[in-house]
Chain A
Amino acid sequence: MAERSFKAEVQKLKLGAGEVFHGEGILAITKALLESGVGYVGGYQGAPISHLMDVLADSQDILAELGVRFQANASESAATAMLSASVHYPIRGAVAYKGAVGVNVASDALANLSSAGVTGGALVVVGEDYGEGSSIMQERSHAFAMKSQVWLLDPRPNLPSIVKAVKDGFELSEASGTPVMLMVRIRACHVTGEFTADDNRRPPLGTVDALNAPQRDTSRVVLPPFSYQQEKDKIEKRWPAALKFIRENRLNEFFEGEADSIGIVLQGGMFNGVIRALQQLGLANVYGDSRVPLYVLNVTYPLVEDEFLEFCQGKDAILVVEEGQPDFIEQALGSMLYKRGGTTRLHGKDVLPMAGEYTGEVLRKGIAAFLAEAAPTLLPEDARIMEEPDRNGNGDIAATVPGRPPGFCTGCPERPIFAAMKLVQKEHGAQQISADIGCHLFASLPPFGIGGSTMGYGLGPASNGAFTGTPSKRPISIIGDGGFWHNGLSSSFSDAVFNQSDSVVMVVDNYYSAATGGQDVPSSRASNPTKSTRHPIARALKGVGVNWVRQIDRTYDVKAMRKVLDEAITTEQKGPKVIVASSECMLNRQRRERPERDKDKREGRRVSQPRFGVDEDVCTGDHACMRLSGCPSLSVKHLDDPLRDDPVAAIDHTCVGCGNCGEVADAAVLCPSFWRGDMIHNPSWMDRKLDTLRRRFIGWLQRRGARNRLVFTGTRS
């Protein structure tokens, strides 16, 4: 069950011809797939493509009605391998994954697929995670398109263009026998808009039909001598066919402009940003009519030489707007110009930065620099120059505003795991710790500062490989349940068992692929009507030969976590020592439990609800508890007491009573300030009786005690 439900939105997928679709980019892509008669879909979640996977999962009824097979693949590699169905059969297939990391994982299958070539359209939707808000290394998927000869679409970021690109992509794929990547940037995935829908189409040939009439063609196998022929085909047949299709169907767009001695060549995805920059320079209107001619590459690979040279004809200079590095497109266009003896000057990364996101400001400055050199008279005297913002305000607020990186949510079950690790390091000294991909990577930030490397999804333990033969000290690694099933079981654990790695691994099992939005994984505890869950990680570990496995079923027990870590570090046992620390992701747990609890409260059933608090007069304001927590609900507050210098700890109403504060105070011997209040809603008769008795007794003692002393009431206690 994913964090965000699209149950209501997926009804939009049923819209018919002529009806107007309103919604997010991701949903529009799904609708376009159905309108294209796709036969099977799959992929692996990860921002910004998580929601596409969630939409597919939530629309399984609609998919089933149309005879479309949906597979929530174990990895991008598995997803891409699934596209093999389009090699021999004229069935359209689509898979989705996250940017460069997805393509990295998929690259083995992608290279085989593109060598073999396809019969049915094969579309890979890549959510390019580049620039602000990105959670991965800054690379381009473009390189993979080039190395494997996969065509790359980069449509203008509006819904009609994206929907058209999906349909064009399938046709291009079929016309050229080549898989196609559709690249959608993170903001375009979440952009809202509208387009006129078409009817959904049943796939003309379903996967079931194909299974009943199997086909084979040895020449599609990547094996000599066929692999040589496949490479030849790529160049001699598929490439020309693609160019022809792109040109004839005008996949790339030309926008006329009166200043025809210059022009801008841009990736489709850059269109809105370039238009905005031109607007700000007084050279375009709100509808995108530009005075500078534009050549929009909705297909960024392959480039159509004739089209480009035609665009350059009669132009003194052009600007290439290509986000990211290396500057593949600019290099290619430069080479085309040079070889044809072109005299048009080519600008690009000389006026625009080589690396980094092309934000509005970057584009405006870059385009202005280009115009200043190539067409200085074009910039109108009265061009609206925006007020240059004074970012610093009065005084140095840059030093004042604190950074706010992402972190663990309120009540997160991973927090106590890392609190325990921090305590173990205090006792045993600093340890070599390698991290992995997932929410648990937030532990590398303050306040925990645990783990200093990530080598890829499911590769945390594997990345300690070099250290696992040292007899004196053991390296520690962290891996999540998502990474475990994605790739970890083979690449990290089989590897460790086989190599007799003397190491410690912490498996953070929060019941979901939590960082990507709470999708189910094989070890999820929920019963999922269409997926097989509840396969314990500990059993899988024993299956691959890990002998030392410890299962912790309540990560909040910091003392137990600490003890088991101690044991793992010090035990005589050889081979990998694996701790499986399991507690449900609090975000998902609250989403599941809160409605039930509210219902119970309303209907008069006894409900005990915990929350933590701090005795402000006991707290001394040292904040040692924060350094083992970082919980959003545990903060500090200023007391109205001149005798106190430092703010004291305070817990706000968002506390979910996870227990970490109390456990940490106990395990680290911090202070007695924390309390837990269990509020009993709809108490039983027994609860009430006992409560009355207790409060009477306590009240009597309190009154008696107050009789012999001065009691100050007012400013403080």
Chain B
Amino acid sequence: MNSPGTETGIIKLAIMAVGGQGGGVLTNWILDLARGNGYTAQATSVAGVAQRTGATIYYVEMMPRAERAPVFSLMPTPGDVDIVIAAELMEAGRAILRGFVTRDRTTLVASTHRMLAVSEKVAPGDGRAPGEKVLEAARSRAKRCIAFDLDQIAADNGTVISASLFGALAGSGALPFEDAHFEETIRASGRGVDASLAGFREARQVAHDRSEGSTDTGDATQKPESSSSTASVSGPPELLQRWKALEKRLNDIPQPARQFARLGLERVVDFQDTEYGDEYLDRLQRVATIDKESGGETRNFALTTAAAKYLAVAMTYDDVIRVADLKTRAPRFDRVRKELGVNDDQVLHLTEFMHPRAEEVCAMLPARWGRYIESRPKLFRFLDRVVNRGRRVRTDTMFWFWTLHMIAGLRRHRRRLLRHEVELCHLQAWMDAALSCAPDNYDLAVEIINNRRLVKGYSDTHERGMSKFSRVMDMLDRVAARDDAATCMREMREAALADEEGAALDRMIESMKQSPAA
């Protein structure tokens, strides 16, 4: 075995972890392991507040015991670290940024799982850092990079990540100690030994296989989007018949858009009924026709593809009926039980958190009634006082399940309800805006379709999304005059997704109003 740090005789090992991951346990194991093998070892850490979910570093130095005591450093130096253990993917990135990973000497053992930082979670859109970038850097900057999901291995074996990290360290062969000594160390620590050993062994095996192989292929941190829908359909024969007919209609949609169209079709039929599927395809067909007339063929029917997706999203708006429907389905109950790991010896009580307001009630009424109330502030406020409060709904009980089940059953009358009317009106305006642009500016039309992404959420969140959507759409005339109209529209949408209130969007709109068209 080629032990690192032979020039000085000191092996230098840094552990990059997130506070609460148990970096201290791993550090102690490594210390015990080294001492048990006749090494002098020293560990340090910076504890303190960083332990509260912040990035933390533990640092270990060791060398064979000799007459004299060596002088160990208390912190890692960039360019002078033999082994880096990263307990999370971005912490591996942090190790690289801090210079602890170098091509001439560093073995990097990293878990590829993600613990998202707050900054990644709070973005209204997708704020997640691209993990593959870090993984790629890790592979190219380390002498050896052994990276896989050690958190999953720990979870599979009912233990914590320190055990699987210790296993991966053993499997990497970066320390000059026998596997048996690693295991003895775990046994001697005396708590949760069996689970720890199981996690240790699995991780060691994977790491071992990876280090034998010439290159590490690693895990993709983000799965590619599924390429095809393979949902199976069941139901009464006459409905299946109608479904078959709908499926046949899909063939009229241009090939590139067909996959989205199929997914969209499933979604709208699931939302309402097969007639709704026909409505969806009618609308999509209209888009496809205009697409063709606007030379969409050369653009791979991008307009129809985008419409296939966002028409379905827009048509399956999130109303109370849909929530009640989703919450009362049998597969949903199975999913919850599975997620919690409820077995037959246990009983599950399930509570939902609902907070209806007068708006939601009006939306659920026949359009005329709903509008009647909405146009009378006093009456509306009275209604709000009656209904507007948080309700804890026990869907495992007969009464509340039955209530939600009944609300879900209002689906049959949905087309006559206020919300449906409002949504359709909005949908119509949006589609018309896009399609009227298509002949002159195809790309802009596609971007207008994509703007639908801004509308999501419930109550306040929904209103905020609607407001962002209108702010962007209000700029359409000004934008359409520009050469870079499509780009501009896309940038506005991205700005709108950057923060909650749309401050970035407002800044952008302001600057566009001031600067003349490019």
Q: Which of A191, A390, A666, A676 contacts B42 (CB 8 A)?
A: A191
Which B270-325 residues have C-beta < 8 A from chain A? Answer: 270, 273-274, 309, 312-313, 318, 323
**What are the interface flags for B463-498 relative to A under an 8 Å C-beta threshold, 1 for contact and 0 otherwise?**
001000000000000000000000000000000000
Supply 24 A–B pairs (Cβ within 8 Å), ascending by A. Answer: A132-B46, A132-B57, A134-B48, A191-B44, A272-B74, A273-B73, A273-B75, A276-B71, A287-B68, A391-B98, A393-B137, A394-B137, A409-B20, A447-B122, A615-B326, A635-B115, A665-B353, A670-B457, A671-B457, A677-B351, A679-B347, A705-B405, A706-B330, A717-B331
**What are the interface flags for B373-407 relative to A under an 8 Å C-beta threshold, 1 for contact and 0 otherwise?**
00000000000000000101001111001100100
The answer to whether A471 has its CB under 8 Å from any CB of chain B is: no
Residue numbers in B under 8 Å from A624 (CB-CB): 124, 457, 460-461, 500
The answer to whether B188 has its CB under 8 Å from any CB of chain A is: no
The answer to whether B116 has its CB under 8 Å from any CB of chain A is: yes
Which A387-407 residues have C-beta < 8 A from chain B? Answer: 387-395, 397-398, 400-407
- Closest B residue by C-beta to A613: B339
C-alpha gap A701/B325 in the complex (Å): 12
C-alpha gap A398/B351 in the complex (Å): 43
Q: Which of B96, B327, B330 contacts A393 (CB 8 A)?
A: B96
The answer to whether A356 has its CB under 8 Å from any CB of chain B is: no
The answer to whether A237 has its CB under 8 Å from any CB of chain B is: no
A430–chain B nearest beta-carbon distance, Å: 13
The answer to whether B122 touches A439 (Cβ under 8 A) is no
Residue numbers in A under 8 Å from B312 (CB-CB): 643
Residues of chain A touching chain B, judged by Cβ–Cβ distance below 8 Å, are 47-48, 51, 129, 132-135, 157-158, 185-188, 190-193, 271-273, 275-276, 279-280, 286-288, 359-361, 364, 384, 386-395, 397-398, 400-410, 439, 442, 445-447, 515, 559, 608, 611, 613, 615, 617-618, 620-624, 626-627, 630, 632, 634-636, 638, 640-643, 645-647, 653, 661-662, 665-672, 674-683, 687-688, 691, 693-695, 697-699, 701-703, 705-717
C-alpha gap A296/B80 in the complex (Å): 25
Given known contacts A191-B44, A398-B97, A387 and B79 CB-to-CB distance under 8 angstroms: yes
Q: Which of A192, A615, A707 contacts B43 (CB 8 A)?
A: A192
The answer to whether A677 touches B71 (Cβ under 8 A) is no
The answer to whether B121 touches A187 (Cβ under 8 A) is no
The answer to whether B70 has its CB under 8 Å from any CB of chain A is: yes
Residue numbers in B under 8 Å from A621 (CB-CB): 126, 456
Residue numbers in A under 8 Å from B177 (CB-CB): none
- Closest A residue by C-beta to B412: A708
**What are the interface flags for B36-66 relative to A under an 8 Å C-beta threshold, 1 for contact and 0 otherwise?**
0000011111111111111111000001000
Residue numbers in A under 8 Å from B432 (CB-CB): none
Given known contacts A135-B49, A632-B20, A712-B231, A406 and B54 CB-to-CB distance under 8 angstroms: yes
- Closest A residue by C-beta to B59: A187
* Chain A to chain B: the 8 pairs with minimum beta-carbon distance, closest first: A393-B137, A360-B77, A133-B46, A666-B390, A47-B48, A714-B231, A406-B54, A389-B99
The answer to whether A395 touches B137 (Cβ under 8 A) is yes
C-alpha gap A665/B356 in the complex (Å): 11
C-alpha gap A707/B91 in the complex (Å): 51
The answer to whether A708 touches B71 (Cβ under 8 A) is no
A405–chain B nearest beta-carbon distance, Å: 6
The answer to whether B126 touches A190 (Cβ under 8 A) is no
The answer to whether B125 touches A646 (Cβ under 8 A) is yes
The answer to whether B72 has its CB under 8 Å from any CB of chain A is: yes
The answer to whether B340 touches A677 (Cβ under 8 A) is yes
The answer to whether A276 touches B73 (Cβ under 8 A) is yes
Q: Which of A360, A638, A707 contacts B236 (CB 8 A)?
A: A707
Q: Interface size (B, Cβ < 8 Å)? A: 152
Residue numbers in A under 8 Å from B236 (CB-CB): 707-708
Given known contacts A360-B75, A615-B326, A678 and B49 CB-to-CB distance under 8 angstroms: no
**What are the interface flags for B79-105 relative to A under an 8 Å C-beta threshold, 1 for contact and 0 otherwise?**
110000000001101101111111111
The answer to whether A711 touches B235 (Cβ under 8 A) is yes
Given known contacts A273-B73, A286-B63, A515-B49, A623 and B18 CB-to-CB distance under 8 angstroms: no
Which B352-376 residues have C-beta < 8 A from chain A? Answer: 352-355, 357
Residue numbers in B under 8 Å from A611 (CB-CB): 340
Given known contacts A387-B104, A389-B102, A710 and B48 CB-to-CB distance under 8 angstroms: no
The answer to whether B229 touches A401 (Cβ under 8 A) is no
The answer to whether B230 touches A677 (Cβ under 8 A) is no
List 16 additional contacts besides A390-B141, A404-B53, A630-B118; criterion CB under 8 Å: A132-B46, A191-B74, A280-B80, A361-B77, A395-B133, A397-B93, A406-B52, A447-B122, A638-B222, A646-B453, A661-B353, A662-B351, A665-B355, A675-B353, A698-B398, A717-B331
The answer to whether B332 touches A717 (Cβ under 8 A) is yes
Residue numbers in B under 8 Å from A709 (CB-CB): 235, 239, 273
- Closest B residue by C-beta to A614: B339
B332–chain A nearest beta-carbon distance, Å: 7
The answer to whether B350 touches A677 (Cβ under 8 A) is yes
- Closest A residue by C-beta to B450: A645
C-alpha gap A671/B96 in the complex (Å): 40
Residue numbers in B under 8 Å from A191 (CB-CB): 42-44, 74
A196–chain B nearest beta-carbon distance, Å: 12
Q: Which of A129, A288, A409, A613 contacts B71 (CB 8 A)?
A: A288
The answer to whether B121 touches A636 (Cβ under 8 A) is yes
- Closest B residue by C-beta to A666: B390
The answer to whether B74 touches A187 (Cβ under 8 A) is yes
The answer to whether A400 touches B457 (Cβ under 8 A) is no
The answer to whether A677 touches B405 (Cβ under 8 A) is no
Residue numbers in A under 8 Å from B141 (CB-CB): 389-390, 393-394
A45–chain B nearest beta-carbon distance, Å: 11
C-alpha gap A698/B396 in the complex (Å): 8
A600–chain B nearest beta-carbon distance, Å: 14
The answer to whether A401 touches B124 (Cβ under 8 A) is no
The answer to whether A384 touches B323 (Cβ under 8 A) is no
The answer to whether B49 touches A397 (Cβ under 8 A) is no
C-alpha gap A621/B318 in the complex (Å): 12
The answer to whether B410 has its CB under 8 Å from any CB of chain A is: no
Q: Which of B42, B45, B53, B116 contacts A193 (CB 8 A)?
A: B42
Given known contacts A386-B79, A395-B136, A694-B396, A666 and B43 CB-to-CB distance under 8 angstroms: no
The answer to whether B163 has its CB under 8 Å from any CB of chain A is: no
The answer to whether B243 has its CB under 8 Å from any CB of chain A is: yes
C-alpha gap A291/B46 in the complex (Å): 31
Q: Which of A670, A674, A683 contacts B346 (CB 8 A)?
A: A683
The answer to whether A632 touches B53 (Cβ under 8 A) is yes
The answer to whether B326 touches A645 (Cβ under 8 A) is no
The answer to whether B264 has its CB under 8 Å from any CB of chain A is: yes
Residue numbers in A under 8 Å from B103 (CB-CB): 387, 390
Residue numbers in B under 8 Å from A134 (CB-CB): 48
The answer to whether B123 has its CB under 8 Å from any CB of chain A is: yes
Residue numbers in A under 8 Å from B408 (CB-CB): 705
C-alpha gap A309/B233 in the complex (Å): 92
B351–chain A nearest beta-carbon distance, Å: 4
- Closest A residue by C-beta to B27: A192
Residue numbers in A under 8 Å from B155 (CB-CB): 653
The answer to whether B69 has its CB under 8 Å from any CB of chain A is: yes
**What are the interface flags for B226-251 relative to A under an 8 Å C-beta threshold, 1 for contact and 0 otherwise?**
10011111111001100100000000
Given known contacts A287-B69, A672-B323, A711-B233, A688 and B347 CB-to-CB distance under 8 angstroms: yes
Residue numbers in A under 8 Å from B397 (CB-CB): 694
Q: Which of A135, A276, A403 contacts B48 (CB 8 A)?
A: A135
The answer to whether B225 has its CB under 8 Å from any CB of chain A is: yes
The answer to whether B256 has its CB under 8 Å from any CB of chain A is: no
